[in-house]
Amino acid sequence: MSVVQIIILAAIQGLAELLPVSSSAHVILAQKLMGIDPSSPTMTFFLVMLHTGTMFAVLLFFWSRWKKMLINLKTSRLFLKAIVIATIVTGILGLSLKIFIEKVILETMLGHSKGEVENLFKVLPLVSAALFFVGLYIIYSGLKKNKKLKENISSRDALFIGLTQGLSLPFRGFSRSGSTISTSLLLGFTRELAEEFSFALAVVLTPPVIVLELRRLMKSELPLHLDYVSLLKPGLIGMVFSFLFGLLALKWLASWLEKGKWHYFGYYCVVLSIVAFVSSFI
């Protein structure tokens, strides 16, 4: 990839990752238009490096808010307990879906002896369908009004959010932040709490994903002209730019969410799903 391509993908990732519009769908669509295979180990690793940049943006943006919350012992205990429950549920469901897709669908039904869930990343009609459904979900949650709002997260709430996040992992296009924040809003969270909890889950989830992608990269056969050092250079450049654009996206998201404009992101996802579907035939 050229430096220009790296910056473009990092900008797309940084903005779209922290907005509920599926960064993966945007990056995959951009890679396809650039003639890059988004399912290759080198590109999925590059995508993880971009996720790392946005993770640092989340830490910087939310740290002062999380710090205030954690000062209160009761609130911090409930918040941390909910993160643990949601993360465990996400891991169980996400890994189960990954195994089911790889072993049952890709290997047994389609005959791919070494099928990986990442192979689905280049199937734009599937990405389009995921975008469409998450768009409808965001629109519904954004327009629905709750009479009573919660300021704490119960174990039951964490379970539902964990299930939603687990569903989003293997299906590129089904925005993680879009689905988790939407579920939180439907459960009656305040907008601020929905935002803070969703991105706290993202910070916890990102390191294991990075480890899994590093493991996948090490098991793959790299082209002769590549080595691990040459892979890190574009990844580090992309990480810096995704961090900067991520901060911009978080300010935008906080503004729209707190002003009741959440459903507008859903309209965008539906339109993008149509674009992705049409692009699959080009």
Secondary structure (3-state) at 189: strand
Residue 257's pLDDT is 87
The whole-number pLDDT of residue 224 equals 47
What DSSP letter does each residue of 190-253 carry, written as one string? -HHHHHHHHHHHHHHHHHHHHHHHHHHHHHS---TT--HHHHHHHHHHHHHHHHHHHHHHHHHH
Q: Which two tokens stand for residue 47?
A: 């995508």
pLDDT for the residue 83: 94
For residue range 62-73, list pLDDT tens digits in order: 998 888 877 877
Entry pTM:
0.81
Cβ-based neighbours of 75, under 8 Å, separated by 6 or more: 69, 152
Ranges of residues in the chain whose predicted pLDDT is under 50: 224
